Amino acid sequence: MTLSLGLRHGLSWAAQVDILKMMRTIFGSDGIPLSKNNFIKKLNAVQESDINYHVYCDVCNSYLGKRDKREKHCGVSKKVFVVGDCEVSELDKFKRQYIPRVYCDVYDGDVYKKVSAENGILSSPLNMSCNFFTGGVAYGKSTTVKTLWPIYLTINELPYEERQKYLILARVYAGAKDPSENWSLQPFVSEANKMSQNGFAWAYDGKPVVSLVIPLAFVADSVVRYQMLNGQTFHAKKEFLLDQVSYVPFLTDKPVRIRSKESHLLNVEESKKQQHHNDESLRHYRDNVVVDYMHAILRLVKKHMELINQPARKHFWLPSSAKSAMVDIISAVDLVISQIQSNTSVIRELRPLSDLVMWKASEWRSWLLIWYTLVCYGKATFLMLRKEVSHYHITYAMELFQNYICLFQKYFFDENMVYIAHLLTHISEGVFNFGPVWGHNSFLYESKNRRILALSESPYFLSYQIARKFVVFQSLPSLCNELGRSKKVMTFCDAVMNYKKLLKVSRSSDGNCVLLGTPVCHTLQENEFAVHLTQIIALPMNAYTTRKKGSLVKSMALTKKNDSFAFLEDGRCVQIVSIVKSPVINTVLLGVKYVKLSRKPLHQNDLYKFDTVK
């Protein structure tokens, strides 16, 4: 229970020990530990072999290997540091139906199919693949540690919802500056090579098996991408060449071939030859990693909005007059934003346009897909984010992206044709190779950075401190099974770990829905006797919420969140006015009114129509 509270609220070890002291004071039990070391020892959740501590020389950037208790020093700077084959082949890994030319997950991508083919490493049903991500997290300005760089892994063979739940922290770097790719990835690459060649042993269905694991896709933003590939920055060279007829951005005089493993190796050799060239502009060469939807598509939306909010571009807003100032236009938009109601599927509420600089990626996502009509761009992104993306969706989306880029250059001119605009032309390659963009983007990993920061207490041995805490909390489910002596304890830990509000719950007899909250008796009006019952409990607006098939619906409420709209199985749309439960037959009844939907597209021009929002 103490561990659960520590994870939920980011408590320090000292705070958790104080809770234990309080329990010992109340219950007088000598078995409750009173120190951090005894607490961790009692849990028996961390073994020294669970964590490897790697050090480098921050003078010469030399990698020094694993840390031990003896003193060791860097030979360059002299700085001193104190310090089997699987027999369960009948297992069907993917119980799913493949649809030709349709991409439903990473398994439909060309890269996964290639390594799953006969004699491929994933042709064995117990072998696995992972995507990995790294990026910098600002830690502090007044300490010796200023940045953290975690490496996260997700297992592709898990269902998408489970990938998010069982995310793996493979490494966390802590230092005064960003890590050098020459040494920072050495432990990770070495471990990845071992996993892909030797695998790990475990028991499946009582039989010993060995599973190999291979990295499949590297997800990162543009800055991290060039750092990890040991290349030049993404803005090392720019060209603004555009064929207005074919609407293909950055055309050169020769067709550009799609890069392959072989061509990449040739590029590496070429870059070696040119690294000391007198002309600095000729020292660079090519590289390629999957394009991240969060840092490409959504970041360009941010750039778009920053540009049209400049005073010189107020004519883009309608209606606007010669006398109107941009501040007045933004105030008018902010007024509309303040009146918008969204449902709980929209994670962040929209903030005023005047706070644009503070918007998060999830806000840009809502802005692009729901609230702000960029016809070509919004629809293309919507198509790429579908649960099932067909070959037609991909080619149509790329046509829309290219049209948007041409218009972007037309209205914002060459100097604003940033690198992320070019990345849009490579979105389709990522889908063809790795499946829909929602399966390989930074949202999943970036959201965990807040948890990493919460695990830190002080800058002293920060990486080891975070690693140890992370391993302890990862062990919590198994610890509950081993140490839990009471159903109440298990319920408490589950509630704390899963951030569930402790509300009064009532279930319907058929199990179709769960009612949350406290009911209120209500006297029915004459027109409410639609169901012939002698006694009924009716609930006022928003007193109950019901969860059915994973969806949350509420009765009407004058709040910022509005979950009162729903679609029936026959396609009709309704708004829920009241939620009623009968104590006689234990049935939940919904009082609704039908809503007429306009089938007219939200926006339409001569070439395209925006019909993804009704």
Amino acid 239: pLDDT:
42
Cβ–Cβ < 8 Å for 591, 577: yes
Res 466 pLDDT > 60: yes
Would you state the structure tokens that stand for residue 570, as one six-digit string?
A: 């026959």
What is the tens place of the pLDDT at every residue in 202-220? 998 889 999 999 999 999 8
339 pLDDT more than 60: yes
Question: So what's the pLDDT on residue 258?
Answer: 64
> In the predicted model, what is the mean pLDDT of residues 251-278?
64
Sign of CA dihedral 247, 248, 254, 258: negative
Is the pLDDT at 558 greater than 90, yes or no? no
Flag the least confident range among 41-45, 157-161, 296-300, 367-371.
41-45
CB neighbour list of residue 138: distance below 8 Å, 6 or more residues apart: 146, 147
Whose CA is closest to 18, among 31, 2, 37, 30? Answer: 2
pLDDT recorded at residue 156: 93
**pTM attached to this predicted model:** 0.75
Q: What angle do CA 526, 527, 532 make, to 5 degrees?
A: 80
Residues 6+ positions from 332 with CB-CB distance below 8 Å: none
d(CA 112, CA 106): 7
Q: How many CB atoms lie within 10 A of CB 337?
A: 16
pLDDT at 95: 64
Q: Which range among 269-278, 284-293, 546-555, 572-581 shows the weakest confidence by mean pLDDT? A: 546-555
Specify the pLDDT at position 541: 37
Lowest mean pLDDT segment, chosen from 75-84, 188-197, 271-280, 405-414: 75-84
Tokens of residue 310, six digits: 């400049």
pLDDT value, residue 234: 56
User: What DSSP string runs through 148-190?
Assistant: EEEEEEEETTS-HHHHHHT-EEEEEEEESSPPPHHHHTHHHHH
- Residue 585 phi, psi dihedral angles, 5° rounding: -110, 5
Mean pLDDT of 34-44: 85
Mean pLDDT of 460-469: 87
The closest alpha carbon to 79, from 58, 100, 105, belongs to 58
* Paired residues of 149 in beta bridges: 173
Is the preceding omega at residue 150 within 30 degrees of 0, hence cis? no
Task: Look up residue 520 and give its amino acid.
Answer: V
Structure tokens at 413: 């001119």
Top pLDDT among 179 and 73 is at: 179
Query: φ, ψ for residue 28 (rounded to 5)?
Result: 65, 30
- pLDDT at residue 88 in the model: 35
Query: H/E/C letters for each residue in 409-435?
Result: HHHHCHHHCCHHHHHHHHHHHHHHHHC
Contact 51, 467 (CB under 8 A): yes
Instruction: Note the pLDDT of residue 294.
Output: 92
DSSP symbol at 372 = S
- How distant, in Å, are the alpha carbons of 69, 436, 603 from that of 337? 58, 30, 19
Structure tokens, 558: 């004058």
- List phi, psi (to 5°) of 216: -105, -50
pLDDT at 120 over 70: yes
Taking each helix axis from N to C end, the angle separating 487-497 and 476-483, rounded to the nearest 10 degrees, works out to 170
Radius of gyration, alpha carbons of the chain: 28
Residue 193: per-residue pLDDT: 94
Cβ proximity of 415 and 438 under 8 Å: no
- pLDDT tier, 279 (very low <50, low <70, confident <90, very high otherwise): low
CA 498/CA 585 separation, integer angstroms = 32
Please tell me which residue, 530 or 389, carries the higher pLDDT value.
389
Position 57 scores a pLDDT of 74
pLDDT in tens, 370-419: 888 888 899 999 999 999 999 999 999 999 999 999 999 999 988 888 88
Note the pLDDT tens digit of each residue in 86-110. 333 344 455 667 788 899 999 999 9
Angle in degrees, 0-180, between the axes of helices 13-27 and 2-9, rounded to the nearest 10: 150
Question: Which parts of 164-296 are beta strand (E)?
Answer: 168-175, 200-204, 207-211, 213-219, 242-243, 248-249
d(CA 563, CA 22): 42
- Whether the CB-CB separation of 249 and 422 falls below 8 Å is answered with yes
Cβ atoms of 140 and 148 closer than 8 Å: no
pLDDT at 86: 31
The band of 571, judged by pLDDT with boundaries at 50, 70 and 90, is confident
Averaged confidence pLDDT in the chain: 78
pLDDT of residue 368: 93
Share of the chain above pLDDT 90, in %: 24
pLDDT of residue 335: 92
Average pLDDT over residues 111-126: 90
Instruction: Report which of 274, 295, 290, 170 is spatially closest to residue 231, judged by C-alpha positions.
Output: 274
Highest mean pLDDT among 136-150, 210-224, 283-297 belongs to: 210-224
DSSP three-state, residue 512: coil
Residue 478 confidence (pLDDT): 79
**3-state DSSP of 289-305:** CCCCHHHHHHHHHHHHH
Q: Output b/e per residue, 67-90; b: 16+ Cβ within 10 A.
A: beeeebebeeeeeeeeeeebeeee
Q: Which residue type sits at 357?
A: V
* CA pair distance 150, 446, nearest whole angstrom: 10
Q: What is the mean pLDDT of residues 142-157?
A: 89
Q: Does residue 535 have a pLDDT over 70?
A: no
- State residue 92's pLDDT score: 44
pLDDT score for 304: 95
Among residues 210, 229, 209, 208, which one has the least CA distance to residue 218?
A: 229
